[in-house]
Amino acid sequence: MSLFSKIFGTKSVLPDADLGILQCDMHSHFIPGIDDGAKTMTDTLDLLRGMEAFGYKKVITTPHIMGDYYRNTPEIILGGLERVREAAKKEGINLELEAAAEYYFDFDLEQKLNSEKLLTFGKNYLLFEVSYLNAPENLDGLIFKMQTQGYKPILAHPERYPFWYNSFETYERLRDKGVLFQLNINSLTGYYSPATKKIAERMIDQNMIDFLGSDCHHLGHQKLMHQARSNPHLHKLLASGVLKNDTL
| Confidence at residue 9, expressed as pLDDT on a 0 to 100 scale | 52
Is the pLDDT assigned to residue 8 strictly greater than 80?
no
Contacts of residue 185, defined as CB under 8 A and 6 or more positions apart, other chains included, come to 19, 212, 213, 214, 215, 225, 228, 234
| Confidence at residue 119, expressed as pLDDT on a 0 to 100 scale | 98
| Confidence at residue 13, expressed as pLDDT on a 0 to 100 scale | 78
For residues 190-223, one letter each, b for 16 or more C-beta atoms within 10 angstroms of the residue's C-beta and e for the rest, the string is bbbeeebbebbbebbeeebbbbbbbbbbeeebbe
Segment 96-107 mean pLDDT = 97
Confirm or reject CATH 3.40.1380.10 for domain 3-9+17-241, answering yes or no: no
C-alpha closest to that of 31 among 93, 76, 94, 91: 76
Amino acid in the structure at residue 156: A
Q: Which letter does DSSP use for residue 200 in this model?
A: H
The answer to whether the beta carbons of residues 103 and 129 sit under 8 Å apart is yes
Q: Residue 64's CB: how many other CB atoms inside 10 A?
A: 19
Is the pLDDT assigned to residue 11 strictly greater than 90?
no
Is the pLDDT assigned to residue 218 strictly greater than 60?
yes
Taking the model in full, what pTM does it have? 0.94
Is the pLDDT assigned to residue 41 strictly greater than 80?
yes
pLDDT per residue as tens digits for the range 43-71: 999 999 999 999 999 999 999 999 889 99
C-alpha closest to that of 143 among 126, 160, 164, 163: 126
Per-residue confidence at 91, pLDDT binned at 50, 70, 90?
A: very high
pLDDT per residue as tens digits for the range 117-168: 999 999 999 999 999 999 999 999 999 999 999 999 999 999 999 999 999 9
Contacts of residue 145, defined as CB under 8 A and 6 or more positions apart, other chains included, come to 110, 113
Segment 177-204 mean pLDDT = 98
The answer to whether the beta carbons of residues 222 and 47 sit under 8 Å apart is yes
Per-residue confidence at 1, pLDDT binned at 50, 70, 90?
A: very low
C-alpha closest to that of 212 among 177, 187, 231, 194: 187
